[in-house]
Amino acid sequence: MDQHTSRELYQEANEHIVGGVNSPSRSFKGVGGGTPVFMDRGEGAHLIDVDGNRYVDFLGAYGPMITGHAHPHIQAAIAKSASEGTLLGTPTVLENTFAKMLKEAITSLEKVRFVNSGTEAVMTTIRVARAYTGRDKIIKFSGCYHGHSDLVLVAAGSGPATLGSPDSAGVTKNIAAEVVTVPFNDAEALERALTEWGSETAAVLVEPIVGNFGIVEPEEGFLEKVNELAHANGSLVIYDEVITAFRFTYGSAQELYGVQPDMTAMGKIIGGGLPIGAYGGRADIMERVAPLGPAYQAGTMSGNPASMRAGIACLEILKEEGVYEHLDHLGKLLEEGILARADRYRLPVKINRLKGALTVYFTTEEVKDYQGAEDSDGILFARFFKEMLDQGVHLAPSKYEAWFLQTAHTEADITFTLDAVDQAFQNMRE
């Protein structure tokens, strides 16, 4: 595949943009290096690069593009905003409409606030939880990514609960000391952490279905136990549903498992491809936020008409009948097809799939926590990633990420992808 223009552009990008990318996950560092492909445009479930090569896209821009690219309904919504003004700096009726839609879909949201990214949403839930409880610490789970605010950029230690150490330069030891990290799906470790630090713990922060070391579901009873233990300690439960909201059902993981947190952070899909974040939860907690309460949070771009319209349009598409069944059906075809080929070529592959999202791990063990994902074979994954890219299938360049199905994907896309998997596995055996 001729990708010479991407290589030239990447060279140029490195002269002007740090590392040539505006988000580190877009670099190919996680797959042993190489040149990220520069895309020219998206068309449905496909991406077309600057050399004219076409790819079936399973990155979905790391989650938001559940409808595929340039969906006509979302295009029309954005065009309307462009003609009516994309930023007015006042309240608009669109914010009411969208807030009501979110509340109808996710019943634990009594009050919401729109922000501009998942990072902002999570960061603010933590601030509000601290304001509400008067406590400083949070407990999070190893390997879960919650955006790049200081507090959640803390090393994911496995094994016994540990007080965090900074995961990024620039995050102070004092900040990291406010974070306790325990393994996902390990209620006993959470209980031990709460026994030790419970009286100081404002909130337990969790992705109810992990999306950041691949797709990892909570074991039966785990989310209930998180609620029980946190609440017994007077701590709040915050769900980070930045990936999961509207990914698996019209609503959130809360609707899937029947468990409700005190606060929820959202992002990605709810923006229909434009920048967005939102957080919400119990009214008595949310009322601690300015202008009603002492916890300050603001944003020039928050609730802007363009993001509101794109988000509303996206949810309208997702509300149509059969959408999630379609994603599940294609996800199942992919899972079964990949496993059959792994078997044929005797490659160690495990797949974690929930409906239209899945992760392919090169390992012989089931992956239930971060350690399991970390132990999967990164070298085999890197080889697989490059083989797939060469054949026109666009995956995330990291063994920890998910494949995201889109409403625009067709069975023909899956057949094409499985043929590519076949060839990739065959080449990997040689």
Active site residues: 145, 240, 268
Tell me how far, at minimum, the Cβ of 240 lies from ligand PLP, in Å: 5
Q: Is 30 in the site for ligand PLP (CB under 6 A)?
A: no
Pick between residue 326 and residue 399 the one whose CB is nearest to ligand PLP.
399
- Contact stretch for ligand PLP (CB under 6 A) within 92-100, 158-166, 236-244, 383-391: 236-244
Tell me how far, at minimum, the Cβ of 200 lies from ligand PLP, in Å: 24
67 within 8 A of 407, measured Cβ to Cβ: yes
Cα–Cα distance for residue pair 172/150, rounded to 1 Å: 8
Residues 160-199 that bind ligand PLP (CB under 6 A): none
Pick between residue 314 and residue 338 the one whose CB is nearest to ligand PLP.
314
Q: What are phi and psi of 417, to 5 degrees?
A: -65, -40
Tell me how far, at minimum, the Cβ of 243 lies from ligand PLP, in Å: 5
- Contact stretch for ligand PLP (CB under 6 A) within 5-13, 14-22, 113-121, 170-178: 113-121
Torsion of CA 273, 251, 313, 241, to 10 degrees: -20
Tell me how far, at minimum, the Cβ of 184 lies from ligand PLP, in Å: 12
Tell me how far, at minimum, the Cβ of 161 lies from ligand PLP, in Å: 21
Tell me how far, at minimum, the Cβ of 427 lies from ligand PLP, in Å: 31
Cα–Cα distance for residue pair 332/330, rounded to 1 Å: 5
Give exposure, 390-412, as e/b (b: 16+ Cβ within 10 Å): ebbbbbbbbbbbbbbbbbbbeee
Pick between residue 268 and residue 341 the one whose CB is nearest to ligand PLP.
268
Contact with ligand PLP (CB under 6 A): which of 145, 184, 248, 370? 145
Pairing relationship of beta strands 162-163 and 179-182 according to DSSP bridges: antiparallel
3-state helix, strand, coil in the chain (%, to 5): 45, 20, 40
Pick between residue 122 and residue 129 the one whose CB is nearest to ligand PLP.
122
Q: How far is CA 417 from CA 61, 127, 356, 414, in A?
A: 18, 44, 15, 5
Q: How far is CA 408 from CA 74, 239, 276, 412, in A?
A: 13, 28, 22, 11
Pick between residue 267 and residue 281 the one whose CB is nearest to ligand PLP.
267
Q: Is 240 in the site for ligand PLP (CB under 6 A)?
A: yes
Pick between residue 255 and residue 390 the one whose CB is nearest to ligand PLP.
255
Per-residue contact string for residues 244-283; x = within reach of ligand PLP by CB under 6 A: -----------------------x----------------
- Contact stretch for ligand PLP (CB under 6 A) within 50-58, 118-126, 185-193, 407-415: 118-126
Pick between residue 383 and residue 394 the one whose CB is nearest to ligand PLP.
394
Cross-strand partners of 216: 210
Q: Is 243 in the site for ligand PLP (CB under 6 A)?
A: yes
Tell me how far, at minimum, the Cβ of 255 lies from ligand PLP, in Å: 17
Q: What are phi and psi of 362, to 5 degrees?
A: -90, 90
Q: Which of 323, 317, 381, 315 is nearest to 348 (CA)?
A: 381
User: Number of residues in contact with ligand PLP, rule: CB under 6 A?
Assistant: 15
Per-residue contact string for residues 194-223; x = within reach of ligand PLP by CB under 6 A: -------------x---xx-----------
Cα–Cα distance for residue pair 185/187, rounded to 1 Å: 6
> CB neighbours of 347 closer than 8 A, spacing ≥ 6?
362, 380, 425, 428, 429
For 5, the token pair is 């223009």
Cross-strand partners of 140: 181
Contact with ligand PLP (CB under 6 A): which of 44, 60, 118, 164? 118
Tell me how far, at minimum, the Cβ of 242 lies from ligand PLP, in Å: 3
> CB neighbours of 259 closer than 8 A, spacing ≥ 6?
208, 223, 224, 227
Q: Is 117 in the site for ligand PLP (CB under 6 A)?
A: yes
Per-residue contact string for residues 59-78; x = within reach of ligand PLP by CB under 6 A: ---x----------------
Q: Count other C-beta atoms under 10 Å from residue 227's C-beta.
A: 16
Cα–Cα distance for residue pair 55/48, rounded to 1 Å: 6
Pick between residue 383 and residue 399 the one whose CB is nearest to ligand PLP.
399
Q: Which amino acid is at 415?
A: T
Cα–Cα distance for residue pair 84/172, rounded to 1 Å: 44
**Which residue has its beta carbon closest to ligand PLP?**
118
Q: Is 146 in the site for ligand PLP (CB under 6 A)?
A: yes
Cross-strand partners of 113: 279
Residues in contact with ligand PLP by the rule CB under 6 A:
62, 117-119, 122, 145-147, 207, 211-212, 240, 242-243, 267
